Amino acid sequence: MIKIEVDMTKCQHYGQCVFEAPNIFRLNNDDKLEYTAVADDSERANVEAAVDVCPMQAIRIVE
């Protein structure tokens, strides 16, 4: 399992992470980011891609 953290003070809800890891990240009805904080290892590549694409560098994997 991998742990995911999003710094919501940095996040601007652009949603780029949603495209990279749609099973983990989603925008709610108010276009605010929601995410699953613990994911299966099979999602690691997608989450790493989301970390890389985040324009605000708000996402990190907690090791």
Q: Which of 3, 29, 17 is nearest to 56 (CA)?
A: 17
- Check: CB of residue 50 under 8 Å from CB of residue 25: yes
Chunk the chain into consecutive blocks of 10 residues (it has 63) and report each block's average pLDDT, rounded to whole numbers.
Answer: 98 97 98 97 98 98 94
At the topology level, CATH places domain 2-62 in Alpha-Beta Plaits (3.30.70)
Domain ranges of the chain: 2-62
- Check: CB of residue 1 under 8 Å from CB of residue 56: no
* pLDDT tens figures, 12-29: 999 999 999 999 999 999
- How many Å apart are CA 62 and CA 14, to the nearest integer? 22
pTM for this predicted structure:
0.94
